[in-house]
Chain A
Amino acid sequence: AQKITQTQPGMFVQEKEAVTLDCTYDTSDPSYGLFWYKQPSSGEMIFLIYQGSYDQQNATEGRYSLNFQKARKSANLVISASQLGDSAMYFCAMRLNSGGYQKVTFGTGTKLQVIP
């Protein structure tokens, strides 16, 4: 069964420091995509970063980077130089192309609070 696990319900980080949000996944499919979304208090889902299962290099998008360790089945999000506006819920998600259709499954989320 496909599964996404985020073990940190809440995290605190000092402003300007880096923080790592954990995500592990489980699938037997060789082809999958891993995503991180941010959900601020306003409620919208904001796409942050993507990592493909066949990608050799870790994805980076500005202050966001994804630490992809395929053998460990982990896809941790690293936010560098945290800002107050980074305070939000963060969701890890996995997308599979199974039997010709798509399915996107989300983890339970991590609430990040940036402290001034």
Chain B
Amino acid sequence: DTAVSQTPKYLVTQMGNDKSIKCEQNLGHDTMYWYKQDSKKFLKIMFSYNNKELIINETVPNRFSPKSPDKAHLNLHINSLELGDSAVYFCASSPRQVNTEAFFGQGTRLTVV
């Protein structure tokens, strides 16, 4: 069973479109994250949710809107896509304890053309 699953794995879309990436974890974790990995491989946290509550919003444009319908899901909706949004987006989850790693999804490669 996949612990953290993201869909789709690849997403190619035109500028100006709206798209969503879905994430689900079956680990029972309290906290979920979205990370953006740019072309230089830098991993930057975008959002963190704890029990469906938004905890961290790292100065992400408001075109990005995360939604957590329940503890196991954290979806990312992006409005009015721009070329600079092209990146790999990773969903991750972690339990409350600090001494356990974050588990990552396989990533979604978003290409805006």
Contact B43 A102 (CB under 8 A): no
Contact B98 A43 (CB under 8 A): no
* A95-B98, A104-B33 known; A47+B103 contact, CB < 8 A: yes
Contact A96 B88 (CB under 8 A): no
Contact B98 A39 (CB under 8 A): no
On chain B, the residues within 8 Å of A103 by CB distance are 45, 48, 56
* A81, CB-defined interface residue at 8 Å: no
A49 to B103, CA, bound (A): 13
* B92, CB-defined interface residue at 8 Å: yes
Contact A50 B101 (CB under 8 A): yes
- For the complex, count residues of B whose C-beta is within 8 A of A: 28
- The A74-116 residues at the B interface (CB cut-off 8 A) are 89, 91, 93, 95-97, 100-106, 108-109, 111
Min CB–CB distance B55 → chain A (angstroms): 4
Contact B99 A104 (CB under 8 A): no
User: Can you list, as one digit per residue, whether each of B102-113 has a CB less than 8 Å from chain A (1) or not (0)?
Assistant: 111011010000
On chain B, the residues within 8 Å of A50 by CB distance are 99-101
On chain A, the residues within 8 Å of B43 by CB distance are 91, 106, 109
A109 to B35, CA, bound (A): 15
- For the complex, count residues of A whose C-beta is within 8 A of B: 28
Contact B41 A104 (CB under 8 A): no
Contact B42 A95 (CB under 8 A): no
Contact A101 B106 (CB under 8 A): no
On chain A, the residues within 8 Å of B88 by CB distance are 43
User: Can you list, as one digit per residue, whether each of B31-56 has a CB less than 8 Å from chain A (1) or not (0)?
Assistant: 10101000011111100101000011
Q: Which of A12-20, A30-38, A63-71 contacts B (4 or more CB under 8 A)?
A: A30-38
On chain A, the residues within 8 Å of B98 by CB distance are 31-33, 52, 95-97, 102
Contact A109 B41 (CB under 8 A): yes
On chain B, the residues within 8 Å of A96 by CB distance are 98
On chain B, the residues within 8 Å of A43 by CB distance are 88, 106-107, 109
Contact A102 B31 (CB under 8 A): yes
Please list the residues of chain B having a beta carbon within 8 angstroms of any beta carbon in chain A.
31, 33, 35, 40-45, 48, 50, 55-56, 88, 90, 92, 94, 96, 98-104, 106-107, 109
